[in-house]
Amino acid sequence: MDKKPQQLGFIHRFIPSNRKEAKPKTPLATLLLLHGTGGNEEDLIPLGHEIAPEAAILSPRGKVLEAGMPRFFRRLAEGFFDIEDLKFRTSELADFIENASKIYRFDLEHMIAVGYSNGANIASSLLLLRPEILSAAILFRPMVPFIPATLQKLISKNILICAGEWDPIVPRQNTEKLLDIFKKAHANVSIYWQKSGHELGQEEILTAKEWLSHHISL
């Protein structure tokens, strides 16, 4: 079953798990796929299938348009975010995920965000503002979304940051600052540096798959 109901507020796709047989005591994970600027709900589905072949998929399209390109929140310039809009859109996305969990009957305790660039940024914002929505996150090319006045505890959260050593968009110090924020929140966070720019590489996709298999029961 693959639906695109509009009543949830986001254009999206939901793809149920293709697991053939029940696995006792093994929870069914759902991947929350969050695309980058100019992407849509289709972009990361192949990636999702590659890193977690049996997981269900929830993939929304960002509602903000920048020169006609979908994003998950507004920015004022490259690397400068509209923080108020970011916080509003984070809450809006969290509510969508909660409502979708009731319609599609997936467990929020096993919701794993997989975000790229702008999608990784709003996934980070979800972790900082609405941590109950996610159990884990794989963040490809994230930036610090904002500096929280108060850090919520992320003790049970598993997070993988995948960064490019030569990324022209995300400075290394910004990535390391995000890593530090998650560490201070007591998340179980790891970082992988890919010898590339802002684009994704196959090696880090395999690294993400391996990390997921070690940290999450799928």
**Per-domain residue ranges of the chain:** 12-20+27-215
* % of the chain residues with pLDDT over 90: 83
Alpha-helical runs (H) found in 3-152: 45-51, 83-104, 118-129
Could you please report the per-residue DSSP string of 167-182? -SSS-HHHHHHHHHHH
12 is catalytic: no
Residues 114-173: tens digit of each pLDDT: 999 999 999 999 999 999 999 999 999 999 999 988 899 999 899 999 999 999 999 999
Determine which one of 49, 95, 101, 198 is catalytic. Answer: 198
Q: Is the pTM of this model over 0.85?
A: yes
Residues 7-48: tens digit of each pLDDT: 689 999 999 988 765 555 556 899 999 999 999 999 999 999
First to last CA, the chain: 20
Determine which one of 59, 117, 125, 135 is catalytic. Answer: 117
Integer-rounded Cα radius of gyration of the chain: 16
CATH superfamily of the domain spanning 12-20+27-215: Alpha/Beta hydrolase fold, catalytic domain (3.40.50.1820)
pLDDT at 68: 93
167 is catalytic: yes
Alpha-helical runs (H) found in the chain: 45-51, 83-104, 118-129, 172-184, 202-215
pLDDT at 12: 96
135 is catalytic: no
Residues 83-92: tens digit of each pLDDT: 999 999 999 9
pLDDT at 179: 98
- The overall average pLDDT reported for the chain is 92
Determine which one of 12, 43, 59, 167 is catalytic. Answer: 167
pLDDT at 80: 84
Q: What is the total residue count of the chain? A: 218
